Amino acid sequence: MRRGLMVWSPFAELERIRKEFDRLLEEFMPKEEVEKAFAPAVDVYERDQELVVKAELPGVKKENVEVSIRENSLHIRGEKKEEKEEKTEAYHRVERVYGKFERVIPLPTDVKVEEAKAEFKDGVLEIRIPKAEGAKERKIEIA
């Protein structure tokens, strides 16, 4: 049997090592045991007179959400509670995340904190905060 020289490929060797490392990690820390953090996705946009923040909170009840503004940051905190069902069915996949969460969103402009309003509808929290008078844009004439 005739054997030729093998060409050594450093990238193939690195890939083999990566796969072996991933296998070892999976053996010691299965993915199901890794704790996932729930952090709501947010949109922040500015209008002429107000700042609008929308946060997706699917599966979270209105009474489990708290909103506050301090130090020119919007704080959204709450808890997504797990639905407890006493069934003996075997789960094949668990991807939904539960637990306490907090998002701190720096506000890009000064706002009137006392006039802020929040509404929770269909799993979306919408917060409208009027801009402070000093925060409005004005043109400055160049001399």
Question: In sequence order, which residues have a C-beta less than 8 Å from that of residue 131 and are 6 or more positions away?
Answer: 46, 49, 50, 51, 109, 110, 111, 112
Provide the residue ranges of all domains of the chain, joining segments of one domain with +.
35-83+96-135
Which of 32-41, 46-55, 127-136 ranks highest by mean pLDDT?
46-55
For residue 128, give both structure tokens: 């409208």
- 131, 69 Cβ separation under 8 angstroms: no
Specify the CATH number for 35-83+96-135; select among 3.50.30.40, 2.60.40.790, 3.40.225.10, 2.40.50.320.
Answer: 2.60.40.790
Dump pLDDT digits (tens) for 69-78: 998 899 999 9
- Whether this prediction's pTM lies above 0.75 is answered by no
Dump pLDDT digits (tens) for 6-25: 777 888 888 889 889 888 87
For residue 20, give both structure tokens: 């072996």
